[in-house]
C-alpha cells in the first residue's frame, strides 16, 4: 500500500455466549496492540464467530461462523472490508459444518480452515470459490469422536506444509498436533476419508491444543492449550525444523493461567505473541522473556474466540 501510513491493529472476535441469549450478539472488535482505541467494528454476529484472519493487501477481514446449532451442517465463512463495511457470506451454510480457526495463504490466495464436527481440513479461494476437502479424519465413530476434531490450523507456504491440531476431549490429555504436505487440488474435494501416508504427528498427549500460529522464518510453532494446569490453559511454542526433529521436538510453555485459552496472534518482528481466552481475557507475552512477561490487555472483554494482528491503514 504505497504512500499510506500503516499501523498495527488487533482484531478480536467476541462470541457473546455468556452476555446474551440466542441469537447471540457476537461482534468483531479492534484495538491497537497496547489495548487502547478499542471499538466495535462489526456488531450483531449471530452465527457464533470463531476464527479470524486478515488480508492486508486486499483490505479484507475473513471470519468463520460455527453456526447456531453444532448438530447441523450450518457453518459458514464471511468477509468484510477493514472498516467493517461490505459484509458478505463467501462460503454459505451447509458447505462446512463447524469451521474453527482460519488461515490465509497469501501467495496462493487461499483460505484454509479446520472443520471441527465436520472432521475435515478445507480450503477455498479468497472469493469463496473452489471449496476443497484436503483431509477428513472421520471414521466409523462419526462426529462423537472428539479425538478427531480438527480445530487449529497454520500454513507454511514456503515449505508447502499445513499444521493442525486435534484437541481431543476436554481436559483429556489426548490432544495432538500434526503436519503434512499441502495436497494438490486433485487430492481434495471427494468428501470421503482421504488416506494419507505423509502425515507427521509432532506432539501427542497434550492437554487440549487449540489455535496455532507459525513463524515461517524460524519454523517455530506457537499454540494455545485449553487443558488443565500445569501444562494447560497456556501459550506454548516449539521449533519444528528438520534439525529439531533429529533431537526430538521440545515444547516450551511461554505463559500460563489463562482461562479457557483459544485465540493466538504472533508478532514475530516485535518478539511477542497475543493470546485470548473464552473468559474474555486478552494477553501480550514477550517471546524472549516468557512467563514473567505476561501482560493483561483486557481482563474481561467478552467471550473471546479468535484474534488476528495486521498492519493496516488507520
19 band by pLDDT with thresholds 50, 70 and 90: confident
Q: In whole angstroms, what is the distance from residue 194 CA to residue 136 CA? A: 6
Q: In whole angstroms, what is the distance from residue 276 CA to residue 260 CA? A: 9
Mean pLDDT of the chain, nearest integer: 91
Residue-level pLDDT at 1: 45
Report yes or no: 30 and 304 within 8 Å, Cβ to Cβ.
no
Average pLDDT over residues 224-253: 94
195 band by pLDDT with thresholds 50, 70 and 90: low
Residue-level pLDDT at 3: 55
Q: What percent of the chain has pLDDT over 90?
A: 79
Q: Give the SS3 label for residue 193.
A: coil
Of 30-44, 138-152, 200-214, 263-277, give the lowest mean pLDDT range: 138-152
Q: Is the pLDDT of residue 202 over 60?
A: yes
Q: Name the CATH architecture for the domain at 6-313.
A: 6 Propeller (2.120)
Residue-level pLDDT at 185: 60
Q: Is the pLDDT of residue 62 over 80?
A: yes
Average pLDDT over residues 226-249: 93
For residues 52-89, b (16+ Cβ closer than 10 Å) or e, as one string? bbbbeeebbbbbbbbbeeeeebbbbbbbbebebeeeee
Spell out the alpha helix ranges (H) of 94-157: none
Residue 50's φ and ψ, nearest 5 degrees, are -135, -50
Average pLDDT over residues 17-30: 88
20 band by pLDDT with thresholds 50, 70 and 90: confident
**Of the candidates 231, 233, 291, the residue with the CA atom closest to the CA atom of residue 264:** 233
Q: In whole angstroms, what is the distance from residue 93 CA to residue 248 CA? A: 42
Q: Name 286's Cβ contacts closer than 8 Å, sequence gap at least 6.
A: 271, 272, 293
Q: In whole angstroms, what is the distance from residue 284 CA to residue 296 CA? A: 7
- What is the tally of helices (H) and strands (E) in the chain? 1, 24
Q: Is the pLDDT of residue 141 over 80?
A: no
Q: In terms of pTM, does the model score above 0.85? A: yes
Domain extent listing, the chain? 6-313
Q: Which helix (H) or strand (E) holds 244?
A: helix 242-247
Residue-level pLDDT at 192: 42
Q: In whole angstroms, what is the distance from residue 249 CA to residue 241 CA? A: 9
Q: In whole angstroms, what is the distance from residue 124 CA to residue 131 CA? A: 4
For residues 135-157, b (16+ Cβ closer than 10 Å) or e, as one string? bbbbeeeebebbebbbbbbbbbe
Residue-level pLDDT at 143: 73
Amino acid at each position: 500500500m504505497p504512500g499510506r501510513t500503516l499501523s498495527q491493529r488487533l482484531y478480536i472476535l467476541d462470541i457473546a455466549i455468556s452476555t446474551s441469549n440466542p441469537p447471540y450478539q457476537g461482534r468483531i472488535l479492534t484495538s491497537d496492540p497496547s489495548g487502547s482505541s478499542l471499538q466495535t467494528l462489526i456488531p450483531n454476529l449471530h452465527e457464533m464467530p470463531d476464527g479470524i484472519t486478515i488480508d492486508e493487501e486486499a483490505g479484507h477481514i475473513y471470519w468463520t461462523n460455527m453456526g447456531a446449532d453444532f448438530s447441523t451442517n450450518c457453518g459458514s465463512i464471511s468477509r468484510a472490508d477493514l472498516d467493517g463495511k461490505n459484509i458478505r457470506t463467501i462460503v454459505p451454510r451447509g458447505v462446512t459444518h463447524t469451521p474453527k480457526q482460519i488461515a490465509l495463504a497469501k501467495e496462493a490466495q487461499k483460505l484454509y480452515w479446520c472443520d471441527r464436527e465436520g472432521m475435515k481440513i478445507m480450503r477455498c479461494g479468497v472469493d469463496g470459490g473452489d471449496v476443497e476437502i484436503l483431509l477428513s479424519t472421520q471414521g466409523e465413530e462419526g462426529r462423537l469422536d472428539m479425538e478427531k476434531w480438527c480445530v487449529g490450523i497454520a500454513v507454511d507456504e514456503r515449505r508447502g506444509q499445513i499444521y493442525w491440531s486435534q484437541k481431543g476431549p476436554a481436559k483429556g490429555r489426548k490432544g495432538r498436533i500434526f503436519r503434512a504436505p499441502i495436497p494438490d487440488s486433485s487430492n481434495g474435494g471427494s468428501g470421503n476419508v482421504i488416506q494419507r501416508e505423509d502425515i507427521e504427528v509432532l506432539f501427542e498427549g497434550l492437554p487440549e491444543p487449540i489455535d496455532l500460529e507459525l513463524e515461517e522464518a524460524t519454523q517455530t510453532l506457537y499454540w494455545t492449550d485449553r487443558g488443565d494446569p500445569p501444562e494447560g490453559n497456556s501459550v506454548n511454542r516449539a521449533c519444528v525444523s528438520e534439525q529439531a526433529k533429529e533431537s526430538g521436538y521440545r515444547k516450551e510453555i511461554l505463559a500460563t493461567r489463562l482461562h479457557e485459552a483459544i485465540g493466538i496472534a504472533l508478532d514475530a518482528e516485535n518478539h511477542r505473541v497475543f493470546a485470548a481466552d473464552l473468559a474474555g481475557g486478552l494477553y501480550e507475552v514477550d517471546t524472549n522473556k516468557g512467563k514473567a512477561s505476561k501482560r493483561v490487555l483486557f481482563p474481561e472483554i467478552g467471550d473471546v474466540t479468535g484474534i488476528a494482528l495486521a498492519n493496516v491503514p488507520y
